[in-house]
């Protein structure tokens, strides 16, 4: 159902900021979020007291029930609209969609979206994995020793069986992400990577090798979102508008999902395209959640960039980088740039917004005016899509 009342162009991102990313020892998740917030405020050119809404997500290393409230206290503000959303990796896009709706309906005027976590330095590797495993069901999944990667791995395995997707094609996803990260200052992984390197890296959970899996990192990211009118009043040079969003929650347990090779991203993106009044073919650059290489292949199909089952060849044809159909994750993504847990997908937003502003430097996708970010989590249980555009797309 697409409601005629639309958030299209009602709200705009006017400030973006990140903390130090990668390995950031000695910094708490709240500091990472607050540091990113200082940078986003400076970027927008506004004072913290102009924020009346704060939206955040869960931090594993600082498991506050209300990270949003803790963050507001930490940076000394008292918002009148605030929440911590918990839909795992899909949280980021969800926050942008809800922020636009909240601004459009007057619940808030200027919203801070901010998250931070320190999965690399704040937790031991085993504790980090175990804390993620705890998000699986304690009766029907956890007793069988399911790592967080396993649910994703089983969907990839079935995709390979149904569509002939190969391990080499999965590896090519990692290789292209590494190429992108090598152009990104501060990326965590900048050593060249080959298909052979991926295939000869240690197996984590079949069909995934070490380099098929995203990184474990520290970091925070923040965004200032306000009404289109306020962005204009402030004289913001290049506001990036939220054009549409969609979400889809298909299951809690992967065993309840009938077709495990098609995800809720299909529905969430259909809604987002319809609400934004655009199609997949119109998208100039995208941030595609890349927790694992196979995830990217399935998303390329479900987001409509290529037909179902053709994600593998689409990657082999280098359609996801410069000169291809849709350059994705030009910063290097969760696979090679930075993956601080739930905040990870905020970095997809950061990169897509840089691209739309024309501020991506050597990584610039020429003429990028329309962007998409897809966030997902919990073994494809949660999916959320946001479509962003420059003034010319309104």
The candidate with the shortest Cα–Cα distance to 191, out of 216, 209, 211, is: 211
Cβ distance to another protein smaller for residue 154 or 236: 154
**Binding segment (CB under 8 A) for another protein, from list 105-113, 139-147, 168-176, 365-373:** 139-147
User: Of residues 56-85, which lie at the interface with another protein (CB under 8 A)?
Assistant: 58, 60, 63
Separation CA 284–CA 134 (nearest Å):
38
Taking CB under 8 A as the rule, does residue 202 contact another protein? yes
Separation CA 308–CA 44 (nearest Å):
40
User: Of residues 19-58, which lie at the interface with another protein (CB under 8 A)?
Assistant: 58
> Residue 210 Cβ, how far from another protein at the closest point, in Å?
8
> Residue 17 Cβ, how far from another protein at the closest point, in Å?
27
Give Cα separations from 351 to 77, 112, 223, 316, 341 (angstroms).
Answer: 27, 18, 12, 23, 17
User: Of residues 279-298, which lie at the interface with another protein (CB under 8 A)?
Assistant: none
Cβ distance to another protein smaller for residue 2 or 255: 255
> Residue 255 Cβ, how far from another protein at the closest point, in Å?
4
Taking CB under 8 A as the rule, does residue 201 contact another protein? no
Taking CB under 8 A as the rule, does residue 145 contact another protein? yes
Q: How many chain residues interact with another protein (CB under 8 A)?
A: 42
Phi and psi for 37 in degrees, rounded to 5? -65, -45
Q: Binding residue for another protein (CB under 8 A) from 184, 205, 222, 319?
A: 205
The candidate with the shortest Cα–Cα distance to 382, out of 263, 212, 260, 258, is: 263
Q: Binding residue for another protein (CB under 8 A) from 200, 255, 316, 359?
A: 255
**Binding segment (CB under 8 A) for another protein, from list 112-120, 164-172, 202-210, 337-345:** 202-210
Taking CB under 8 A as the rule, does residue 251 contact another protein? no
Residues 6 or more apart whose Cβ sits within 8 Å of residue 344 = 89, 92, 214, 217, 291, 334, 338
The candidate with the shortest Cα–Cα distance to 346, out of 5, 53, 87, 93, is: 93
Separation CA 353–CA 389 (nearest Å):
9
Tokens of 190: 């900048």
Binding site for another protein (CB under 8 A): 58, 60, 63, 126-127, 129-134, 138-150, 153-155, 157-158, 161, 202-208, 253-256, 260
């Amino acid at each position: 159902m697409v409601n005629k009342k639309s958030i299209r162009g009602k709200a705009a991102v006017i400030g973006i900021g990140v903390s130090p990313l990668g390995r950031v020892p000695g910094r708490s998740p709240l500091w990472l979020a607050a540091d990113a917030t200082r940078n986003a405020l400076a970027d927008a050119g506004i004072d913290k007291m102009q924020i009346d809404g704060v939206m955040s997500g869960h931090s594993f290393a600082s498991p506050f029930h209300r990270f949003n409230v803790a963050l507001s206290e930490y940076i000394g503000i008292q918002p009148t609209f605030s929440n911590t959303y918990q839909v795992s990796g899909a949280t980021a896009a969800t926050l942008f969609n809800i922020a636009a709706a909240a601004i459009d309906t007057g619940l808030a005027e200027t919203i801070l979206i901010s998250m931070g976590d320190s999965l690399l330095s704040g937790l031991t590797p085993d504790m980090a994995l175990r804390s993620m495993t705890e998000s699986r069901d304690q009766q029907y999944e956890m007793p069988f020793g399911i790592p967080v990667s396993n649910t994703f791995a089983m969907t990839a395995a079935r995709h390979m069986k149904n569509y002939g997707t190969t391990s080499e094609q999965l590896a090519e996803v990692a290789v292209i992400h590494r190429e992108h990260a090598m152009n990104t200052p501060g990326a965590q992984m900048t050593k060249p990577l080959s298909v052979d390197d991926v295939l000869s890296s240690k197996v984590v959970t079949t069909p995934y090798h070490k380099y098929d899996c995203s990184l474990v990192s520290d970091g925070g990211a923040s965004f200032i979102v306000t009404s289109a009118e306020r962005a204009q009043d402030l004289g913001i040079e290049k506001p990036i508008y939220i054009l549409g969003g969609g979400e889809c929650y298909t299951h809690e347990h992967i065993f309840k999902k009938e077709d495990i090779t098609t995800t809720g991203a299909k529905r969430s993106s259909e809604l987002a395209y319809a609400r934004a009044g655009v199609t997949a073919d119109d998208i100039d650059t995208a941030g595609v959640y890349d927790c694992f290489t196979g995830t990217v292949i399935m998303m390329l199909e479900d987001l409509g960039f290529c037909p179902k089952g053709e994600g593998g060849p689409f990657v082999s044809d280098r359609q996801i980088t410069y000169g291809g159909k849709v350059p994705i994750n030009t910063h290097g993504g969760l696979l090679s740039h930075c993956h601080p847990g739930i905040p990870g997908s905020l970095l997809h937003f950061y990169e897509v917004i840089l691209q739309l502003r024309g501020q991506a430097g050597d990584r610039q996708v020429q003429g990028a005016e329309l962007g998409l970010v897809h966030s997902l989590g919990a073994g494809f249980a949660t999916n959320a899509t946001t479509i962003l555009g420059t003034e010319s797309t309104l």
